[in-house]
Amino acid sequence: MAKRLYYKYSDYLKEKYNKKVYKIPVNINTTCPNRDGNIGSGGCIFCGEEGAGFELLDKNNSIKKQIKKNKEFIIKKYKAEKFIIYFQNYTNTYLKLEIFKDYILECIDEDVVEISISTRPDCISEDILSFLKDIEIKYSINISFELGLQTCNYKTLKRLNRGHTLAEYIHGVNKIKKYNFELCTHMILNLPWDDKDDVIEGAKILSSLEINTVKIHSLYILKNTLLGNMYEKNEIEIIHKDEYIKRMILFLEYLDPNIGIQRLFSRAPKERTLFCNWDTSWWKLKDQLIELMKEKETYQGKKFQYLKPRITRNI
């Protein structure tokens, strides 16, 4: 049987739930400790004022209202049967515990199979984890987390002003895994200070930590950000599109084939960016990636055998 090129998230969900499952993003009243001075100020150098949620509904609407509105649209368009409620923007565990609990309880419904929470590795308390475990058991709703790592290069993490290092990310993963929750990690493969070895090492680290899914981002540069200023002053260089596609292939080759790919390329509104996807649509980039993978006869996990102990590999 031919190897699959990469493990699509839609297949991952089909195998897990055996139903048409769609994500519903919700927007809550929170911020980020890396923006408000608690851990850092100004945030990551690529992060815009609105965080990452370009398609989100107004956070002043209740969660129930946001879910209802999105559900109507998704059921009509995709005939979805079950839903994942996705707390997407900023740091969704950076809240008083009682407020966080209320938000989670508001999501619970018969057709909700999972609640996915995007946060930072330094904002995951035992109180939150044990509350979520109770929810999982009581309502049979899976809990998953999303953490941004972006790169495994700790020097680049510093330049990005992430406010955490690789060690804290690993610590966060271990905490989440202890409760048996699933985990997605975000990676950017064309950060100006990284090279292909960083990308390979990133794939190896995520594989060795046995994360469940990954969102791959092509770096986009938002207006009015520190990264935007650097770009306008020609202080940074973005690699060529063809080079980027080659890096993506390397990343996929070294990634555990059982890790689902939630995203291959970033999407950002043109009017908000100084640079995004080499002015090419993301589906054209995807076509280019697939074509090259087929030409090279390669696939996700082709070079994954590094986790097998060398000494026993050929026995």
Binding site for ligand SF4 (CB under 6 A): 32, 34-35, 43-44, 47, 51, 90-91, 120, 148
Beta carbon nearer to ligand SF4, 119 or 142: 119
d(CA 61, CA 135): 23
Q: Give min distance, CB of 79 to ligand SF4, in A.
A: 33
Beta carbon nearer to ligand SF4, 43 or 301: 43
Beta carbon nearer to ligand SF4, 35 or 247: 35
Q: Give min distance, CB of 44 to ligand SF4, in A.
A: 3
Q: Give min distance, CB of 250 to ligand SF4, in A.
A: 25
Beta carbon nearer to ligand SF4, 188 or 250: 188
Q: Give min distance, CB of 140 to ligand SF4, in A.
A: 30
Nearest position to ligand SF4, beta carbon: 43
Q: Give min distance, CB of 51 to ligand SF4, in A.
A: 5
Place of tokens 């990634």: 255
3-class SS string, the chain: CCCCCCCEHHHHHHHHHCCCEEEEEECCCCCCCCCECCCCECCCCCCECCECCCCCCCCCCCHHHHHHHHHHHHHHHHCCCEEEEEECCCCCCCCCHHHHHHHHHHHCCCCEEEEEEEECHHHCCHHHHHHHHHHHHHHCCEEEEEEEEECCCHHHHHHCCCCCCHHHHHHHHHHHHHCCCEEEEEEECCCCCCCHHHHHHHHHHHHHCCCCEEEEECCCEECCCHHHHHHHCCCCCCCCHHHHHHHHHHHHHHCCCCCEEEECCCCCCHHHEEECHHHCCHHHHHHHHHHHHHHCCCCCCCCHHHHCCHHHHCC
Q: Give min distance, CB of 147 to ligand SF4, in A.
A: 10
Beta carbon nearer to ligand SF4, 21 or 227: 227
> Which residues are paired to 146 by β-bridges?
118, 184
Q: Give min distance, CB of 42 to ligand SF4, in A.
A: 8
Beta carbon nearer to ligand SF4, 78 or 154: 154
Beta carbon nearer to ligand SF4, 121 or 301: 121
277: left (phi over 0), alpha (psi -120 to 50) or beta: left
Q: What angle do CA 259, 260, 263 make, to 5 degrees?
A: 125
Q: Give min distance, CB of 312 to ligand SF4, in A.
A: 40
Beta carbon nearer to ligand SF4, 94 or 181: 94
